[in-house]
Structure 1
Amino acid sequence: MFEFDQYLGFLAFLTILTIGFWLMMFLLLFVVPYWLGGNLLEIWKERREAKRAKRLES
């Protein structure tokens, strides 16, 4: 079967793999939508301000 150091190496590999998986899930489910939503909101505000400034010029 496994020697003790092989068992520890396998556990370390599984731990790193699991941490990477949950980090990827966190980034995809929370960070990326937050980033995209914030950028879209800023673009919308800039366009609204540009329309408002153009309307005030005329």
Structure 2
Amino acid sequence: MFEFDQYLGFLAFLTILTIGFWLMIFLLTFVIPYWIGGSLIERLKEIKEEKKAKRQE
């Protein structure tokens, strides 16, 4: 059925595929929402500071 080299290649393919799958799941569920949420919070802080600076003038 499989020779040993083909078996190792198949295992390497499955390993890379699995690592890629879990990396995408991790990125889509944790990293990207964290990044977007943090950038929104920072933008809101900047807007508040701009309004505060305008009021003090």
| Same-fold status (TM-score > 0.5) | yes
What TM-score do you get using the length of structure 2 for normalisation? 0.93
**Matches of 2:12 and 2:53 in 1, distance apart?**
59
Q: Does 1:3 align with 2:16?
A: no
Q: Does 1:49 align with 2:37?
A: no
Q: Which residue of 2 aligns with 1:36?
A: 36
Alignment: residue pair count: 57
- The one-letter amino acid of 1:46's match is E
| % identical aligned pairs | 77
Off by >3 Å, runs of 4+ in structure 1: none
Q: Give 1:45 deviation, angstroms.
A: 0.2
What TM-score do you get using the length of structure 1 for normalisation? 0.91
- In structure 1, stretches of 5+ residues that fail to align are none
- In structure 2, stretches of 5+ residues that fail to align are none
